[in-house]
């Protein structure tokens, strides 16, 4: 088995999330691979645009919906731009799933607080749908999601869906100045909205993902609400090439993000040197 050779996938659907962010829905070309492919929420993959190269993103769709794999990305570099320029029916590659995952099994019976900023909703969305697809296994579900502006919010249709559900408390926010006249959500930064939402930390876990500054400021907000560092989960995104612990790129101190992560607790992260 050539561990660097990706599975071939067909782009089944292309969803424009924001002017520069897209979601690709992918289906395996080989039925046996499709059948055998299993992953868990939080794992990532290496996606190929043949001719441009590979790029690392989380799997943004939940394992509870095994018929397809989705990834959401911002067109920024060579590979993401190539992926953005592709159309339904085109072939991309996928290696994975790689890395660890959110411990959903140990979170069963607990309340969950999801906090995401910008495109950071992608890995969190995978967990949210996983949880909502098995809703009876968890207690309260609170989602705080923010973006710079209304047009920067990703998964807009799903946000509407979550907003309409009685079993989800959704707080949406945009940075000051990013609102539109029609905007009915919050205006303010994510950490402030987390404090306002004030989800109970009792028998609860927090899962957060977003830009470094949001993570940095949300951690104290969660701690103030009583979440211990061992119950705050996030994902790290160091640059990777191989995804499987060989290429030497994603080390943070003793940790290989690709193998020991990408999911870490705040407690684990506090022990790492600041190289992420």
- Stretches 165-173, 192-200, 219-227, 238-246: which one binds other proteins (CB under 8 A)? 238-246
E strand or H helix at 23, and its extent? strand 21-28
> In the window 98-127, what residues touch other proteins (CB under 8 A)?
none
Contacting other proteins (CB under 8 A), which of 4, 65, 180, 196? 4
Contacting other proteins (CB under 8 A), which of 33, 35, 78, 160? 78
What residues contact 275, with CB distance under 8 A and at least 6 apart?
238, 251, 252, 253
When asked if residue 148 is in the footprint of other proteins (CB under 8 A), the reply is no
Paired tokens of 37 = 């492919």
When asked if residue 273 is in the footprint of other proteins (CB under 8 A), the reply is yes
Contact 44, 56 (CB under 8 A): yes
| Calpha distance 170→160 (Å, rounded) | 9
Contact 234, 170 (CB under 8 A): no
As measured in angstroms, the least distance from the Cβ of 269 to other proteins is 13
Contacting other proteins (CB under 8 A), which of 12, 52, 163, 225? 52
- Stretches 48-56, 61-69, 109-117, 159-167: which one binds other proteins (CB under 8 A)? 48-56
When asked if residue 81 is in the footprint of other proteins (CB under 8 A), the reply is yes
C-alpha Rg value of the chain to the nearest Å: 18
Using the structure block, give the residue that is written with the tokens 């950490």: 191
Nearer to other proteins, 183 or 276 (CB): 276
> In the window 248-267, what residues touch other proteins (CB under 8 A)?
248-249, 251-254, 256, 259
Paired tokens of 166 = 């009685």
SS3 state at 122: helix
Paired tokens of 74 = 């911002």
As measured in angstroms, the least distance from the Cβ of 3 to other proteins is 5
Q: What is the dihedral of CA 101, 105, 107, 110, to 10 degrees?
A: 150
Contacting other proteins (CB under 8 A), which of 38, 157, 184, 239? 239
Interface residue list for other proteins (CB under 8 A): 1-6, 8, 48, 50-54, 76-78, 80-81, 91, 93, 212, 237-239, 241-242, 244-249, 251-254, 256, 259, 273, 275-276
């Amino acid at each position: 088995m050539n561990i660097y050779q990706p599975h071939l996938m067909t782009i089944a659907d292309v969803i424009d999330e924001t002017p520069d962010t897209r979601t690709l829905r992918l289906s395996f070309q080989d039925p046996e691979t499709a059948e055998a492919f299993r992953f868990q929420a939080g794992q990532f993959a290496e996606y190929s645009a043949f001719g441009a190269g590979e790029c690392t993103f989380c799997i943004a769709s939940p394992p509870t919906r095994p018929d397809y794999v989705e990834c959401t990305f911002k067109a920024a570099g060579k590979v993401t731009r190539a992926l953005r320029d592709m159309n339904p029916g085109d072939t991309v590659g996928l290696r994975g799933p790689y890395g660890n995952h959110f411990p959903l099994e140990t979170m069963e019976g607990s309340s969950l607080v999801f906090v995401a900023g910008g495109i950071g909703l992608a890995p969190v969305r995978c967990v949210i749908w996983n949880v909502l697809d098995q809703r009876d296994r968890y207690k309260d579900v609170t989602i705080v999601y923010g973006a710079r502006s209304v047009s920067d919010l990703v998964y807009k249709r799903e946000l509407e869906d979550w907003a309409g559900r009685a079993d989800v408390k959704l707080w949406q926010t945009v940075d000051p100045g990013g609102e539109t006249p029609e905007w009915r959500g919050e205006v303010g930064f994510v950490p402030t909205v987390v404090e306002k939402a004030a989800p109970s930390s009792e028998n609860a876990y927090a899962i957060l993902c977003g830009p470094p500054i949001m993570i940095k400021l949300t951690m104290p907000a969660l701690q103030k609400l009583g979440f211990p560092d061992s119950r705050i989960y996030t994902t790290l995104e160091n640059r990777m090439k191989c995804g499987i612990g060989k290429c030497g790129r994603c080390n943070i101190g003793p940790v290989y993000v690709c193998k020991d992560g990408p999911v870490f607790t705040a407690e684990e992260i506090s022990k790492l040197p600041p190289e992420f």
